[in-house]
Amino acid sequence: MDVKERFVFKITGESVKHCDGVSRRDFLTAGAAGMVGLTFADLLRLEAQAGIGSSNKAIVNIHLDGGPPQMDTIDMKPNAPAETRGIFQPISTNMPGFQICELMPQMAAHADQFAFVRSMIGAEGRHDAFQCMSGFSTKDMQGFGGRPAMGCVLTKLIGKVTDPAPTYVDLMQGRPLVRNSARPGFLGPSYKPFRPDLSDIFSRPLEKGMMGELSRLGSNHTTSLSLNAELNADRLANRNTLLAGLDKIRREVDSSGMMDAMDRFSQQATGILLSGQFADALDLSKEDPKIVEQYKPKWSVSSQRFSTADEPKAALKLLMARRLLEAGVRCISVTISDFDTHSDNFNRMKYTLPIVDHAIVTFMKDLQSRGMLDDVSIILWGEFGRTPKINANAGRDHWPRVAPAIFAGGKMKVGQVIGSTDKLAGEAMSRPIHYQDALYTLYHNLGILADRTTIEDPTGRPQYLLDRGKIIPELV
């Protein structure tokens, strides 16, 4: 990618230190003890009364599209039969006794900065990123629009239309984009993610069947952020005021929420465009060229690129994520493909795993050098694992029974391995961890108690952010 190429928008239609030494997390935990069903607004009011301000902590949710093979990444089984262990060799990490795949040497050298979970359970088995974004099945509350993704929840809880950047930005491509994995669910369109079109910067070709799916979603599937060149700031502000006045009566009788969504997005998009801060974050030509070079791969690709895989420069998505964090975005979802390896699993992993390895370690180093790593919680995972047995096409099929996940940053306790599987990496044998447990821990890192905080569904009934998740105590 020519980093001097500008990212074009199109609009059509600190951590807090308190003098008393009480952290925001401690305050929320103590303040909510014994309370049930607090809204986040309640918690913020309690914070204000105690003189505690808001946090700048953030989440980066990296989805490995298709479901990564656990036995070819962080749960190697070198003593398993050949039809399970495959062709890759384990290599030692800087954590004594812990080995990972030879295709991930950078992560091996920095393993003490990660927490490796080998025992994720509860996968729905559906091919998208929705469960990783929300913790829920697509069927949960489907009659009301379904559950919202975590980033959409955060937009509801802490986002304001006056913010210079959206609370939640979805940079996912491929299947997660087509399947609308980062959807607002019953919260309605006012809380959908900002979803810039990255296709001109990062090539991720779609499967033929998905091309039809995406076209049926319409042009509003991505956030439209282009400004008519004839509209200056004053005219834009006047137009928003005029539209608000003309639409007042219709808004009062609108039950779909679309009018409010249009108002909210118009207001926020106006502020974003006029400040330029958000646009600059997505413009990599404004980044230090030396940093850009660090994110670019330094190896020769040893395997042919599969038709739906990311380019080697996909690590630059995480550079964009870092710039968005600096602009004030609180939740970012990113995807790296291609892990749907029903065929030719090993050649495809030879191509893709080095991209992931370089991307995540470079991102971590970048955050750490800027003093951001403690504030940013990172998770790297997919929608399920892959079958222990290699199929007739030299591939691995879907395996919802167990999956891997990797945590980093956010002041989490890293340098450890959590959970174990059987000798074939097919079943969790110790410390099973549910997808909702992972989401609960990420909420906790933001100071939000997911089993005490509620948001209202369309009937006005309060819904807890998660209905079964528990904190992963090993991480906090």
Does some domain include residue 8?
no
Residue 7: predicted pLDDT: 40
Residue 403 or residue 234, greater confidence: 403
The dihedral built from the CA positions of residue 365, 366, 372 and 377, taken in this order, carries a sign that is negative
**Longest Cα–Cα distance in the chain:** 71
Return the closest-CA partner of residue 334 out of 181, 137, 216: 181
Residue-level pLDDT at 257: 52
The gap between the terminal CA atoms of the chain, to the nearest Å, is 39
Q: What is the mean pLDDT of residues 135-150?
A: 96
Q: What are the angstrom distances between the C-alpha of 57 and each of 118, 207, 278, 331, 385?
A: 26, 36, 18, 9, 29
Residue 135 Ramachandran class (φ > 0 left, ψ -120 to 50 alpha, else beta)? left
CA gap 310, 469 in Å, rounded: 32
The H or E element spanning position 294 is helix 289-295
Q: Which of 122, 313, 318 is nearest to 203 (CA)?
A: 313
Structure token digits, residue 105: 């040497």
If 0-12 CB within 10 Å is exposed, 13-18 middle and 19+ buried, where does residue 207 land?
Answer: middle
Q: Crossing angle, helix 150-158 and helix 435-445, to 10 degrees?
A: 30
Say if residue 473 is exposed, middle or buried (CB neighbours under 10 Å; 0-12, 13-18, 19+).
Answer: exposed
Q: Write the single-letter amino acid at 113.
A: Q
14: in domain: no
- Residues 404-433: pLDDT tens digits? 999 999 999 999 999 999 999 999 999 999
For residue 226, what pLDDT is reported? 46
Q: Average pLDDT, stretch 57-61?
A: 97
Q: Does 164 or 168 have the greater pLDDT score?
A: 168
* Residue 123: pLDDT over 70: yes
What integer pLDDT is reported at residue 222 of this predicted model? Answer: 73
Within a domain: residue 273? yes
Question: Does pLDDT of 32 surpass 60?
Answer: no
> Residue 61: beta bridge partners?
333, 379
By the 10 Å C-beta count (0-12 exposed, 13-18 middle, 19+ buried), 56 is classed as middle
Per-residue model confidence (pLDDT) at position 106: 97
Specify the higher pLDDT residue, 191 or 435: 435
Q: What is the predicted pLDDT for the residue at 422?
A: 98
CA distance 465 to 453: 6
Q: Are 280 and 286 in contact (CB under 8 A)?
A: yes
C-alpha closest to that of 29 among 6, 52, 10, 13: 52
Among candidate residues 475, 406, 336, 325, the one with its CA nearest the CA of residue 110: 406
CA distance 207 to 192: 25
> Distance (Å, rounded) from C-alpha 420 to C-alpha 116?
10
12 has a pLDDT exceeding 50: no
Q: What is the pLDDT of residues 326-353, one digit of tens each?
A: 999 999 999 999 999 999 999 999 999 9
Angle subtended by helix axes 40-49 and 24-32, to nearest 10: 110
- Residue 115 CA to residue 379 CA, distance in Å, equals 10
The structural domain count of the chain equals 1
Q: Is residue 46 part of a domain?
A: no
> 12 with 226: CB under 8 angstroms?
yes
Structural domain range at position 442 = 54-475
What's the pLDDT at 11? 34
Can you tell me the distance from the alpha carbon of 360 to that of 381, in angstroms, rounded to the nearest whole number? 12
Q: Looking at residue 298, what is its pLDDT?
A: 84
Which pLDDT score, from 0 to 100, does residue 16 have? 39
What's the rounded Cα separation, in Å, for the pair 456 and 459?
8
d(C-alpha 76, C-alpha 467), whole Å: 33
Token code pair at residue 400: 């919802």
C-alpha 414/C-alpha 373 separation (Å) is 12
- Quote the radius of gyration of the chain (alpha carbons, Å): 22
Mean pLDDT of the chain: 84
Most confident of 24-38, 158-172, 382-396: 382-396
pLDDT per residue as tens digits for the range 278-294 = 878 888 999 999 999 99
Q: Find out whether 99 and 85 touch, Cβ atoms under 8 Å.
A: no
Residue 15 has pLDDT above 50, yes or no: no
pLDDT band at 361 (very low <50, low <70, confident <90, very high): very high
Query: Could you tell me whether strands 168-170 and 331-336 are parallel, antiparallel, or unpaired per DSSP bridges?
Result: parallel
**Are residues 76 and 48 in contact, defined by beta-carbon separation less than 8 angstroms?**
no
d(CA 439, CA 444): 9
Do the domain assignments include residue 288? Answer: yes
Q: Give the pLDDT of residue 206.
A: 85
Question: By the 8 A CB rule, do 63 and 381 touch?
Answer: yes
pLDDT band at 403 (very low <50, low <70, confident <90, very high): very high
Domain assignment present for 16: no
Q: 229 falls in which pLDDT band (50, 70, 90)?
A: very low
Confidence bin at 9 (pLDDT 50/70/90): very low
Nearest to 269 by CA among 223, 329, 330, 321: 223
Question: What average pLDDT score do residues 287-306 get?
Answer: 89
Asked whether residue 383 is domain-assigned, the answer is yes
User: What is the arrangement of strands in the sheet containing 462-464, beginning at the earlier edge strand?
Assistant: 38-39, 453-456, 462-464
Is 4 inside a domain boundary?
Answer: no
The sign of the CA dihedral 154, 158, 162, 165 is negative
Across 457-476, average pLDDT: 96
> 102 is written with which tokens?
């030879």
Q: What are phi and psi of 458, to 5 degrees?
A: -60, -20
H helices of 118-231, in order, are 130-134, 150-158, 175-178, 208-217
* Residue 303: predicted pLDDT: 82
Q: Please state, in angstroms and rounded to a whole number, the distance separating the CA atoms of residues 457 and 451.
A: 16
